[in-house]
Every structure is written in structure tokens, then in C-alpha cells.
Amino acid sequence: MLLKSGTVLVTVAIGIAGAIALFWALNKLAELLPSKWEHRLKPYLLILPAYLAISLYLLYPTIVTVINSFKDRTSDQWVGFTNYADLFTDKAFQSTLFNTVLWVIIVPAVTIIVGLAVAALTDRLPSKSEKFVKTMIFVPMAISMVGAATVWRFVYAYQPAGETQTGLLNAVWTSGGAEPVPWLNTSTFRLNTLLLMVILLWAQVGYAMVLLSAAIKSVPAETLEAARVDGAEERQVFFSVILPQIKGTIIAVGVTVTIGVMKIFDIVYTNTNGQFNTNVLANDFINELTTNFNYGAASAIVVILMIAVIPIMIYQVRNFKEQEAAA
């Protein structure tokens, strides 16, 4: 243990020293140039290491993944679009796609609505209670996703009728005399998928709340007063005065949550591993990669995910630029 910690510390020290030396050397290099060129080139020189690191760790794997998605399960032979064709004609994968779409539609919307509601309502509380309520809602953010998923697994736990119900939900459900329900196995109307979404909502509504609350507080009080003086109701003040002014934050939160949800994995893996019709793209990918060792199919799933995320990111960047321009 001591040896391990020692190794880690030495590695970190070498890494930091290396980084300092690198930037110092790059700086010196720039200073060698004529003054005019020094100023022109320096920024590029200094971001060069970061760019190289991104190329090494992001671009290169991305390119290899795209290439592998057109190869067979061991990445030996070219197979064209076979991996994609197999996936899209597979009923299980269609269900996986459908579930992922459900996640992407429902979770960001509910996160924003609940986050906004909490932010707007607590804004009217006395400072102390506001802090307390917000802290309580924010606390789950501190729990790792797998931890949260495990906690909720206990909430949804099921025991056959006649046994003591150890799961909170079934304990409440059966207290009125109803039969216990195996919640996570019940895919009627995708009930189990919806229950899994509750976990993610519980875990990250706090994030949306904090950002939206900050945005609401930064809305100039004069605009609110002006609206009230003009006879606007509170509802009108919220929807017509506050909302338009925090639109940027709402979009930013929505996009971040959406991208996170597209990659959702831990909650599904921990609770059902995609069984009972709850599979999502990222979980399917992990299983193709680590259970089936089918690198072709795994790569194809990632590429599909990547293509789906790109438009959202473009939208986010555009929105960011617009805000920058407006500011």
C-alpha cells in the first residue's frame, strides 16, 4: 500500500514537473523568435500540448472506432455496413433505441421543469429555509451514480407475497393490501424504464436547480418591478419576464443534461443490465464490448451515439456564440 501510494506520488510529481518544464521550454522557444512573431505564435505554442493530448486521447480513438465499426467482431476483415444493418434489423436493438429516445425526451424536460420550479419557489422563501431546501435537493449530487442506483435498487426491491417487503416502494404499495409488484421487471408502458429515470432525476435535479436559481437571481429587479407596476400577475412576471431572460441558461442546462442522458449507463447496468426491456445504447455497447467481445457491433453503437450527439453539440455551440455576441 505504502509502495503504491509512493509510486502514485512520484508519478504525479513527474507529471507536474514535466508539464512545467514543457511550458517553460515552449515559452523560451517563443522568446527566441523576433518580438512580432513571438506574440503571434505564443498562444498557439502554449495550447499545442493540449491539442496534442486531445488528438491522442480523443481524435485517434474516434477515428479507429469509426474504422472498426466497418470491420468484423475481431476487427480483422472489412464487412461494410453489416454491423449497422444487423443492429437496425435487430428487434432488441430497436427496443434499445426506443428506450434511449424516451430517456432523452423525458429526463431533460422533467429536470428543467422541476429544477425551475424549485428555483423559482425557493427564491420566495426566507434565506435560511431557501438554503436548507436547496441543500437537501442538491445532496444527491454528491453520491456517485452507481451509489444512487444501488440505493434505489433497495427502494424497488421485491419479495414474494407473504414475505416482509424490504423495498420501500413495495412496503408502501402493499400496506393497503395490494399484491407486491416486481417493479424493475414490469415493462408494461415501460414502467421500469420510467422508474429508472426517477433515479437520474433524483440525482441531478439539484444541478439544474443551482444553475437556474443563479440565473433567476441575476434577473434585474427593475424589470420585475416594471412588470408589476404595469399590472402583471405573478404568473405573467415569471413566464413573460423571468423566463425570456434566463433562456440561455435553460438551454445550456437542457443540452448538458441531454448529452449526459444519451450516455446513461450506470443506472441501467446496476439495476437491470438492460434486461426486461430497459436496455439503452451505452449499456448495449458495454455488453457488446466486454461480454460478447464483438468489437464491430460495439464500435457501430458508439458511432450511432456519436452521430446523435453531434447536432446537439452544434446547437449548443451556436447558442453559446449568440449569447456571447449579445453580451
- 226: its cell numbers: 416594471
Residue environment code for 251-284, b if the CB has 16+ CB neighbours within 10 A, otherwise e = bbbbbbbbbbbbebbbbbbbbbebebbbbbbbbb
Q: Using the minimum distance from each CB to other proteins, give the nearer residue, 205 or 282.
A: 282
Q: Which of 259, 279, 263 is CA-nearest to residue 96?
A: 279
Catalog residues that contact other proteins under the rule CB under 8 A.
4, 7-8, 10-11, 14-15, 18-19, 22, 26, 29, 48-49, 52-53, 56, 73, 92, 158-163, 182, 184-185, 187, 269-270, 272-277, 287, 291-294
Beta carbon of residue 175, minimum distance to other proteins (angstroms, whole number):
18
Beta carbon of residue 315, minimum distance to other proteins (angstroms, whole number):
32
Q: Using the minimum distance from each CB to other proteins, give the nearer residue, 122 or 272.
A: 272
Are residues 238 and 216 in contact, defined by beta-carbon separation less than 8 angstroms? Answer: no
Q: Using the minimum distance from each CB to other proteins, give the nearer residue, 11 or 135.
A: 11
Q: Which residues pair with 78 in a beta bridge?
A: 71
- 168: its cell numbers: 420501500
Beta carbon of residue 22, minimum distance to other proteins (angstroms, whole number):
5
Are residues 117 and 213 in contact, defined by beta-carbon separation less than 8 angstroms? Answer: no
Q: Using the minimum distance from each CB to other proteins, give the nearer residue, 159 or 245.
A: 159
Beta carbon of residue 276, minimum distance to other proteins (angstroms, whole number):
7
Q: Using the minimum distance from each CB to other proteins, give the nearer residue, 57 or 81.
A: 57
Beta carbon of residue 59, minimum distance to other proteins (angstroms, whole number):
13
What sign has the CA pseudo-torsion 89, 92, 97, 98? positive
